[in-house]
Protein backbone atom coordinates (compact mmCIF):
# COMPACT_ATOMS: atom_id res chain seq x y z
CA UNK A 1 0.00 0.00 0.00
CA UNK A 2 2.85 2.35 0.79
CA UNK A 3 4.36 1.73 -2.63
CA UNK A 4 1.15 3.06 -4.20
CA UNK A 5 0.39 5.97 -1.87
CA UNK A 6 3.86 7.46 -1.87
CA UNK A 7 4.05 8.01 -5.64
CA UNK A 8 0.49 9.36 -5.68
CA UNK A 9 1.25 11.78 -2.86
CA UNK A 10 4.48 13.00 -4.49
CA UNK A 11 3.08 13.40 -8.00
CA UNK A 12 -0.31 14.68 -6.85
CA UNK A 13 1.23 17.10 -4.40
CA UNK A 14 3.57 18.45 -7.09
CA UNK A 15 0.68 19.01 -9.50
CA UNK A 16 -1.54 20.64 -6.88
CA UNK A 17 1.24 22.91 -5.67
CA UNK A 18 2.08 23.86 -9.26
CA UNK A 19 -1.53 24.76 -10.08
CA UNK A 20 -1.90 26.69 -6.84
CA UNK A 21 1.26 28.75 -7.38
CA UNK A 22 0.30 29.43 -11.00
CA UNK A 23 -3.19 30.59 -9.98
CA UNK A 24 -1.82 32.87 -7.25
CA UNK A 25 0.80 34.37 -9.59
CA UNK A 26 -1.83 35.01 -12.30
CA UNK A 27 -4.18 36.60 -9.74
CA UNK A 28 -1.47 38.93 -8.45
CA UNK A 29 -0.43 39.94 -11.97
CA UNK A 30 -4.07 40.57 -12.90
CA UNK A 31 -4.56 42.89 -9.94
CA UNK A 32 -1.30 44.69 -10.66
CA UNK A 33 -2.41 45.17 -14.27
CA UNK A 34 -5.71 46.68 -13.14
CA UNK A 35 -3.97 49.08 -10.75
CA UNK A 36 -1.32 50.18 -13.28
CA UNK A 37 -3.21 50.35 -16.57
CA UNK A 38 -0.56 52.59 -18.09
CA UNK A 39 2.11 49.90 -17.61
CA UNK A 40 1.44 46.91 -19.92
CA UNK A 41 4.22 44.81 -18.35
CA UNK A 42 1.97 43.11 -15.78
CA UNK A 43 -0.54 42.05 -18.38
CA UNK A 44 2.21 40.72 -20.65
CA UNK A 45 3.77 38.74 -17.80
CA UNK A 46 0.54 36.78 -17.49
CA UNK A 47 1.62 34.94 -20.64
CA UNK A 48 4.40 33.35 -18.55
CA UNK A 49 1.97 31.34 -16.42
CA UNK A 50 2.25 28.11 -18.45
CA UNK A 51 6.07 27.95 -18.66
CA UNK A 52 6.26 28.89 -14.95
CA UNK A 53 4.01 25.98 -14.04
CA UNK A 54 6.02 23.58 -16.19
CA UNK A 55 9.25 24.71 -14.54
CA UNK A 56 7.81 24.33 -11.03
CA UNK A 57 6.23 20.94 -11.70
CA UNK A 58 9.39 19.57 -13.30
CA UNK A 59 11.60 20.93 -10.54
CA UNK A 60 9.38 19.41 -7.83
CA UNK A 61 9.27 16.05 -9.55
CA UNK A 62 13.01 16.13 -10.19
CA UNK A 63 13.74 16.78 -6.54
CA UNK A 64 11.29 14.29 -5.06
CA UNK A 65 11.04 11.36 -7.43
CA UNK A 66 13.84 9.54 -5.61
CA UNK A 67 11.74 9.51 -2.44
CA UNK A 68 8.70 8.38 -4.41
CA UNK A 69 10.43 5.13 -5.44
CA UNK A 70 8.92 5.17 -8.91
CA UNK A 71 10.33 2.70 -11.46
CA UNK A 72 13.54 1.97 -9.63
CA UNK A 73 14.86 0.09 -12.63
CA UNK A 74 14.67 3.25 -14.76
CA UNK A 75 15.35 5.92 -12.18
CA UNK A 76 18.41 7.24 -14.03
CA UNK A 77 16.49 7.59 -17.32
CA UNK A 78 13.58 9.34 -15.59
CA UNK A 79 15.96 11.72 -13.84
CA UNK A 80 17.67 12.51 -17.16
CA UNK A 81 14.35 13.20 -18.87
CA UNK A 82 13.19 15.46 -16.04
CA UNK A 83 16.47 17.36 -16.19
CA UNK A 84 16.13 17.94 -19.93
CA UNK A 85 12.52 19.10 -19.52
CA UNK A 86 13.57 21.42 -16.71
CA UNK A 87 16.30 23.03 -18.85
CA UNK A 88 13.97 23.45 -21.81
CA UNK A 89 11.10 24.89 -19.76
CA UNK A 90 13.48 27.28 -18.00
CA UNK A 91 14.68 28.58 -21.37
CA UNK A 92 11.04 28.92 -22.45
CA UNK A 93 10.26 30.95 -19.31
CA UNK A 94 13.29 33.21 -19.80
CA UNK A 95 12.30 33.92 -23.41
CA UNK A 96 8.71 34.72 -22.38
CA UNK A 97 9.88 37.11 -19.64
CA UNK A 98 12.33 38.84 -22.00
CA UNK A 99 9.61 39.17 -24.64
CA UNK A 100 7.21 40.69 -22.12
CA UNK A 101 9.80 43.23 -20.97
CA UNK A 102 10.74 44.17 -24.55
CA UNK A 103 7.10 44.50 -25.69
CA UNK A 104 6.26 46.60 -22.65
CA UNK A 105 9.18 48.95 -23.27
CA UNK A 106 8.24 49.35 -26.92
CA UNK A 107 4.58 49.99 -26.09
CA UNK A 108 5.48 52.73 -23.62
CA UNK A 109 7.89 54.31 -26.09
CA UNK A 110 5.30 54.24 -28.90
CA UNK A 111 2.70 55.91 -26.67
CA UNK A 112 5.15 58.60 -25.53
CA UNK A 113 6.48 59.55 -29.00
CA UNK A 114 4.35 60.65 -31.93
CA UNK A 115 7.06 60.54 -34.59
CA UNK A 116 6.23 57.52 -36.81
CA UNK A 117 9.79 57.26 -38.13
CA UNK A 118 11.32 57.00 -34.66
CA UNK A 119 8.68 54.52 -33.54
CA UNK A 120 9.39 52.28 -36.56
CA UNK A 121 13.12 52.50 -35.91
CA UNK A 122 12.71 51.43 -32.28
CA UNK A 123 10.32 48.67 -33.32
CA UNK A 124 12.90 47.29 -35.76
CA UNK A 125 15.67 47.39 -33.16
CA UNK A 126 13.48 45.83 -30.47
CA UNK A 127 12.37 43.02 -32.78
CA UNK A 128 15.92 42.10 -33.75
CA UNK A 129 17.14 42.30 -30.14
CA UNK A 130 14.31 40.01 -29.11
CA UNK A 131 15.29 37.50 -31.79
CA UNK A 132 18.95 37.64 -30.76
CA UNK A 133 18.06 37.01 -27.11
CA UNK A 134 15.82 34.09 -28.07
CA UNK A 135 18.57 32.59 -30.23
CA UNK A 136 21.18 32.94 -27.48
CA UNK A 137 18.91 31.41 -24.84
CA UNK A 138 18.04 28.55 -27.19
CA UNK A 139 21.68 27.80 -27.96
CA UNK A 140 22.59 27.88 -24.26
CA UNK A 141 19.68 25.55 -23.43
CA UNK A 142 20.75 23.03 -26.09
CA UNK A 143 24.35 23.20 -24.87
CA UNK A 144 23.22 22.64 -21.27
CA UNK A 145 21.13 19.65 -22.36
CA UNK A 146 24.08 18.10 -24.17
CA UNK A 147 26.37 18.59 -21.18
CA UNK A 148 24.04 16.50 -19.02
CA UNK A 149 25.19 13.40 -20.90
CA UNK A 150 28.46 11.94 -19.56
CA UNK A 151 29.70 11.12 -23.05
CA UNK A 152 29.41 14.75 -24.12
CA UNK A 153 31.33 15.94 -21.05
CA UNK A 154 34.09 13.46 -21.77
CA UNK A 155 34.35 14.68 -25.34
CA UNK A 156 34.56 18.29 -24.24
CA UNK A 157 38.34 18.32 -24.01
CA UNK A 158 38.82 16.99 -27.54
CA UNK A 159 36.22 19.39 -28.87
CA UNK A 160 37.97 22.35 -27.27
CA UNK A 161 41.27 21.22 -28.79
CA UNK A 162 39.80 21.29 -32.28
CA UNK A 163 37.61 24.36 -31.72
CA UNK A 164 39.93 26.59 -33.76
CA UNK A 165 39.83 24.39 -36.85
CA UNK A 166 36.09 23.84 -36.51
CA UNK A 167 35.56 27.59 -36.14
CA UNK A 168 37.43 28.29 -39.37
CA UNK A 169 35.55 25.57 -41.25
CA UNK A 170 32.20 26.74 -39.89
CA UNK A 171 33.02 30.35 -40.74
CA UNK A 172 33.80 29.47 -44.35
CA UNK A 173 30.78 27.20 -44.69
CA UNK A 174 28.38 29.73 -43.13
CA UNK A 175 29.85 32.84 -44.71
CA UNK A 176 26.59 33.95 -46.30
CA UNK A 177 24.62 33.26 -43.10
CA UNK A 178 27.06 35.22 -40.96
CA UNK A 179 27.06 38.11 -43.43
CA UNK A 180 23.26 38.22 -43.29
CA UNK A 181 23.34 38.20 -39.47
CA UNK A 182 25.77 41.11 -39.35
CA UNK A 183 23.74 42.89 -42.02
CA UNK A 184 20.61 42.44 -39.88
CA UNK A 185 22.35 44.04 -36.90
CA UNK A 186 23.60 46.84 -39.16
CA UNK A 187 20.07 47.49 -40.41
CA UNK A 188 18.69 47.47 -36.86
CA UNK A 189 21.15 49.98 -35.43
CA UNK A 190 22.14 51.81 -38.61
CA UNK A 191 18.58 53.04 -39.29
CA UNK A 192 18.78 52.11 -42.98
CA UNK A 193 15.33 50.53 -43.25
CA UNK A 194 12.61 50.01 -40.66
CA UNK A 195 9.49 47.93 -40.27
CA UNK A 196 6.65 49.83 -41.95
CA UNK A 197 8.88 51.76 -44.38
CA UNK A 198 7.74 52.11 -47.99
CA UNK A 199 10.53 50.85 -50.26
CA UNK A 200 11.15 50.09 -53.93
CA UNK A 201 13.41 47.08 -54.55
CA UNK A 202 14.00 45.52 -57.98
CA UNK A 203 11.20 47.64 -59.39
CA UNK A 204 8.67 46.39 -56.82
CA UNK A 205 6.88 48.89 -54.58
CA UNK A 206 5.88 47.69 -51.12
CA UNK A 207 6.08 48.01 -47.33
CA UNK A 208 8.62 46.33 -45.08
CA UNK A 209 6.60 43.73 -43.19
CA UNK A 210 9.23 41.75 -41.25
CA UNK A 211 12.95 41.97 -40.49
CA UNK A 212 14.92 39.06 -39.06
CA UNK A 213 18.63 38.38 -38.63
CA UNK A 214 18.83 36.67 -42.03
CA UNK A 215 15.97 37.86 -44.26
CA UNK A 216 13.58 40.74 -44.84
CA UNK A 217 10.01 40.54 -46.11
CA UNK A 218 8.41 43.23 -48.28
CA UNK A 219 4.60 43.26 -48.70
CA UNK A 220 3.72 44.62 -52.14
CA UNK A 221 0.62 46.63 -53.01
CA UNK A 222 -1.10 43.51 -54.39
CA UNK A 223 -0.53 41.58 -51.11
CA UNK A 224 2.43 39.55 -52.37
CA UNK A 225 5.39 38.86 -50.06
CA UNK A 226 8.92 39.30 -51.38
CA UNK A 227 11.55 37.67 -49.15
CA UNK A 228 15.07 38.97 -49.60
CA UNK A 229 18.34 38.47 -47.69
CA UNK A 230 19.10 41.42 -45.45
CA UNK A 231 22.58 41.66 -47.01
CA UNK A 232 20.85 42.98 -50.15
CA UNK A 233 19.99 46.22 -48.36
CA UNK A 234 23.60 46.75 -47.30
CA UNK A 235 25.14 46.03 -50.70
CA UNK A 236 22.55 47.16 -53.30
CA UNK A 237 20.86 50.53 -53.84
CA UNK A 238 17.16 50.78 -53.05
CA UNK A 239 14.54 53.49 -52.62
CA UNK A 240 13.20 54.24 -49.14
CA UNK A 241 10.25 56.58 -49.51
CA UNK A 242 9.71 56.83 -45.73
CA UNK A 243 13.19 58.03 -44.80
CA UNK A 244 13.42 61.73 -43.96
CA UNK A 245 9.66 62.20 -43.72
CA UNK A 246 6.62 60.50 -45.17
CA UNK A 247 5.32 63.46 -47.24
CA UNK A 248 5.70 62.89 -50.96
CA UNK A 249 5.33 64.64 -54.30
CA UNK A 250 3.86 62.75 -57.24
CA UNK A 251 3.78 63.47 -60.96
CA UNK A 252 1.44 62.48 -63.80
CA UNK A 253 2.47 62.89 -67.44
CA UNK A 254 0.07 63.53 -70.33
CA UNK A 255 0.86 63.44 -74.06
CA UNK A 256 -1.57 65.79 -75.81
CA UNK A 257 -1.86 67.64 -79.09
CA UNK A 258 -0.09 70.96 -79.65
CA UNK A 259 -3.47 72.71 -79.58
CA UNK A 260 -4.30 71.47 -76.06
CA UNK A 261 -5.61 74.20 -73.68
CA UNK A 262 -2.80 74.22 -71.12
CA UNK A 263 -4.28 77.02 -69.01
CA UNK A 264 -7.65 75.28 -68.78
CA UNK A 265 -5.88 72.01 -67.88
CA UNK A 266 -4.11 73.84 -65.06
CA UNK A 267 -7.45 75.11 -63.72
CA UNK A 268 -8.99 71.66 -64.06
CA UNK A 269 -6.10 70.14 -62.09
CA UNK A 270 -6.81 72.56 -59.25
CA UNK A 271 -10.50 71.59 -59.24
CA UNK A 272 -9.66 67.86 -59.26
CA UNK A 273 -7.28 68.18 -56.32
CA UNK A 274 -9.73 70.22 -54.27
CA UNK A 275 -12.23 67.37 -54.52
CA UNK A 276 -9.63 64.67 -53.79
CA UNK A 277 -9.40 63.83 -50.03
CA UNK A 278 -5.92 62.34 -50.45
CA UNK A 279 -4.37 65.68 -51.51
CA UNK A 280 -2.77 67.43 -48.53
CA UNK A 281 -3.06 70.94 -50.05
CA UNK A 282 0.66 71.74 -49.88
CA UNK A 283 1.43 72.22 -53.58
CA UNK A 284 0.33 71.50 -57.14
CA UNK A 285 1.31 72.56 -60.63
CA UNK A 286 1.07 71.85 -64.35
CA UNK A 287 3.71 72.66 -66.96
CA UNK A 288 4.78 71.67 -70.47
CA UNK A 289 8.01 69.69 -70.04
CA UNK A 290 8.72 68.40 -73.56
CA UNK A 291 7.57 68.49 -77.17
CA UNK A 292 7.66 66.11 -80.12
CA UNK A 293 6.64 66.56 -83.77
CA UNK A 294 3.18 65.18 -82.97
CA UNK A 295 2.51 65.90 -79.26
CA UNK A 296 3.57 67.88 -76.23
CA UNK A 297 4.34 66.43 -72.82
CA UNK A 298 2.45 67.98 -69.92
CA UNK A 299 3.44 67.20 -66.33
CA UNK A 300 0.92 67.49 -63.50
CA UNK A 301 2.39 67.73 -59.98
CA UNK A 302 0.65 67.18 -56.63
CA UNK A 303 1.57 66.42 -53.01
CA UNK A 304 0.26 64.03 -50.35
CA UNK A 305 1.01 63.04 -46.77
CA UNK A 306 2.36 59.54 -47.53
CA UNK A 307 3.00 56.99 -50.26
CA UNK A 308 -0.50 55.49 -50.16
CA UNK A 309 -2.18 58.88 -50.59
CA UNK A 310 0.15 59.95 -53.39
CA UNK A 311 -0.83 56.84 -55.33
CA UNK A 312 -4.50 57.75 -54.89
CA UNK A 313 -3.85 61.34 -56.01
CA UNK A 314 -1.99 60.24 -59.13
CA UNK A 315 -4.61 57.78 -60.35
CA UNK A 316 -7.40 60.28 -59.60
CA UNK A 317 -5.72 63.08 -61.56
CA UNK A 318 -4.93 60.78 -64.48
CA UNK A 319 -8.45 59.39 -64.72
CA UNK A 320 -10.41 62.62 -64.33
CA UNK A 321 -8.14 64.70 -66.56
CA UNK A 322 -8.42 62.22 -69.44
CA UNK A 323 -12.19 62.05 -68.97
CA UNK A 324 -12.43 65.85 -69.01
CA UNK A 325 -10.31 66.18 -72.14
CA UNK A 326 -12.37 63.53 -73.92
CA UNK A 327 -15.66 65.22 -73.04
CA UNK A 328 -14.76 68.91 -73.52
CA UNK A 329 -11.58 69.08 -75.61
CA UNK A 330 -11.36 65.99 -77.81
CA UNK A 331 -9.15 67.85 -80.28
CA UNK A 332 -6.46 68.00 -77.59
CA UNK A 333 -5.97 64.24 -77.53
CA UNK A 334 -3.06 62.76 -79.52
CA UNK A 335 -3.94 62.00 -83.15
CA UNK A 336 -2.27 60.87 -86.34
CA UNK A 337 -1.86 63.74 -88.84
CA UNK A 338 -2.99 62.58 -92.31
CA UNK A 339 -3.34 66.03 -93.99
CA UNK A 340 -1.34 66.88 -97.13
CA UNK A 341 1.92 68.59 -96.47
CA UNK A 342 2.15 72.29 -97.36
CA UNK A 343 4.82 72.74 -100.02
CA UNK A 344 7.31 75.58 -99.78
CA UNK A 345 7.25 78.34 -102.43
CA UNK A 346 8.73 77.60 -105.92
CA UNK A 347 8.64 73.84 -105.29
CA UNK A 348 7.53 71.18 -107.79
CA UNK A 349 4.79 68.77 -106.73
CA UNK A 350 7.06 65.88 -107.71
CA UNK A 351 9.78 67.11 -105.44
CA UNK A 352 11.98 68.82 -108.11
CA UNK A 353 12.77 72.48 -107.54
CA UNK A 354 12.27 73.39 -111.24
CA UNK A 355 10.88 76.53 -112.80
CA UNK A 356 7.59 76.30 -114.66
CA UNK A 357 7.97 75.85 -118.45
CA UNK A 358 8.11 78.94 -120.68
CA UNK A 359 5.10 79.67 -122.82
CA UNK A 360 4.70 81.48 -126.16
CA UNK A 361 1.21 82.55 -127.04
CA UNK A 362 -0.29 80.03 -124.68
CA UNK A 363 1.90 77.14 -125.82
CA UNK A 364 4.58 75.59 -123.70
CA UNK A 365 8.04 75.86 -125.12
CA UNK A 366 10.47 73.11 -124.31
CA UNK A 367 13.92 74.19 -123.22
CA UNK A 368 16.62 73.62 -125.84
CA UNK A 369 18.31 70.26 -125.79
CA UNK A 370 22.03 69.97 -125.58
CA UNK A 371 24.29 67.26 -126.85
CA UNK A 372 23.43 64.46 -129.20
CA UNK A 373 20.07 62.89 -129.74
Give tens-digit pLDDT for 258-316. Answer: 989 999 999 999 999 999 999 988 889 999 999 988 899 999 999 998 878 888 999 99
pLDDT in tens, 94-145: 888 888 888 887 777 777 766 676 777 777 777 777 777 888 888 888 878 8
As a whole number of angstroms, the distance between CA 108 and CA 123 comes to 12
197 and 149 Cβ atoms separated by less than 8 Å: no
pLDDT in tens, 25-38: 778 777 777 777 66
Question: What sign for the dihedral angle of Cα 38, 39, 40, 43?
Answer: negative
184 and 231 Cβ atoms separated by less than 8 Å: no
289 and 297 Cβ atoms separated by less than 8 Å: yes
243 and 118 Cβ atoms separated by less than 8 Å: no
Identify the pLDDT of residue 189. Answer: 64
- Is residue 70 predicted with pLDDT exceeding 70? no
Of 327, 254, 329, whose CA–CA distance to 296 is shortest?
A: 254
Identify the pLDDT of residue 373. Answer: 41
Planar angle of CA 92, 94, 96, nearest 5 degrees: 70
Average pLDDT of span 172-179? 50
The residue with greater pLDDT, 325 or 59, is: 325
What percent of the chain has a predicted confidence (pLDDT) above 90?
15
The residue with greater pLDDT, 79 or 153, is: 79
- Is residue 9 predicted with pLDDT exceeding 60? yes
Confidence band of 181 (pLDDT split at 50, 70, 90) = low
Average pLDDT of span 357-367? 47
Confidence band of 167 (pLDDT split at 50, 70, 90) = low
Supply the mean pLDDT for the chain.
75
Average pLDDT of span 322-346? 80
The residue with greater pLDDT, 12 or 331, is: 331
201 and 218 Cβ atoms separated by less than 8 Å: yes
Delimit the domains of the chain by residue range: 2-112, 248-332
- CATH code at 248-332: 3.30.70.100
Amino acid sequence: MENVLRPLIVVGGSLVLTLLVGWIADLLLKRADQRHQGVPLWGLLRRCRLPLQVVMCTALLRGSYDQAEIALDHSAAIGQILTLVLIGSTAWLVVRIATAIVDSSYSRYANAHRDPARVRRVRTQVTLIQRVVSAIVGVMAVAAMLLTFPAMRAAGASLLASAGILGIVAGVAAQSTLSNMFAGLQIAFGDMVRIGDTVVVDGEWGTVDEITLTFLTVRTWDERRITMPVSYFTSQPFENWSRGGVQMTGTVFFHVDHSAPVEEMRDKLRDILRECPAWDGRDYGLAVTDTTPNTIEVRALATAKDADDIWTVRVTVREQMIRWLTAHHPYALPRVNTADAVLPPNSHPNGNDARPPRTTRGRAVEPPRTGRG
